[in-house]
Amino acid sequence: MIDVLYFAWVRERIGLPRERLETSAVTVAALVDELRAREERYEAAFADLSSLRVALDQELANFDAPLAGVREVAFFPPMTGG
């Protein structure tokens, strides 16, 4: 099981802030493919990966990063702090 978190407009498009998933995905990209296949709202949120960022266990990562041992995946738009 893996915790998947969504922030900002990703959260709004998907309609929930977090969920617990059973996945066999080996990489972030494979997990994204699984999510996109689920429902239209996921397809809408993940349509353009260049406008998304991902963190694995609260560290920024790439979409080709492996998911082995990861407990928490977060998807969000580019950050706008400061």
Partner 1 sequence: MRVSVQTDPFDLGAESNAFAAAQTTAGAVVTFTGLVRDNGGTLAAMEIEHYPGMTERAIRAIMDQAVGRWSLEDALVIHRHGRLTAQEPIMMVATAARHRADAFAAAEFLMDYLKSRAPFWKKEIGTDGAEWVAAKAEDEAALTRW
For partner 1, the binding residues (CB under 8 A) are 5, 7-9, 55, 58-60, 74, 76-82
Question: How far is Cα 28 from Cα 32, in angstroms, rounded to an integer?
Answer: 6
**Cα separation of the two ends of the chain:** 34
Q: How far is the CB of 61 from partner 1 (least distance, A)?
A: 12
3-state secondary structure of 51: helix
Q: Which is nearer to partner 1, 26 or 60 (CB)?
A: 60
Least distance (Å) from partner 1 to the CB of residue 33? 24
Query: Which CB atom, from 63 or from 76, has the smaller least distance to partner 1?
Result: 76
Alpha helices in 1-82 (DSSP H): 8-14, 28-38, 40-45
Q: Which is nearer to partner 1, 37 or 78 (CB)?
A: 78
